[in-house]
Amino acid sequence: VKTSVPAVAVWGRTAPSHSITAILITDDQQTIVTGSQEGQICLWDLSSDLKVSSKEILFGHTASVTCLAKARE
């Protein structure tokens, strides 16, 4: 059984900058992945009516994310 938990982002008055430098769309076209000049990777949900909503933001890279690739099974 797969459960879904909404993502919660906690930061100060303003969200961190996310200047997109790379983008990937999953094969099922339900998730967009973006990499940023600031070193973050963000996951976005893409609905069937083309609405985009944030899912997760991953911190930890010390350099810009300039390329994204999906792993093969």
The count of other CB atoms within 10 Å of the CB of residue 20 is 12
**Would you list the domain boundaries of the chain?**
20-59
Summarize pLDDT for 26-60 with one digit per residue, the tens. Answer: 999 999 999 999 899 999 998 888 888 888 888 88
Smallest CA-to-CA distance from 40 within 23, 18, 72 is with: 18
* Residue 62: pLDDT over 70: yes
Spatial contact of 31 and 56, defined as CB atoms under 8 Å apart: no
pTM of the full structure? 0.73
Confidence check: pLDDT of 64 > 90: yes
Which pLDDT band holds residue 2 (cuts at 50, 70, 90)?
low
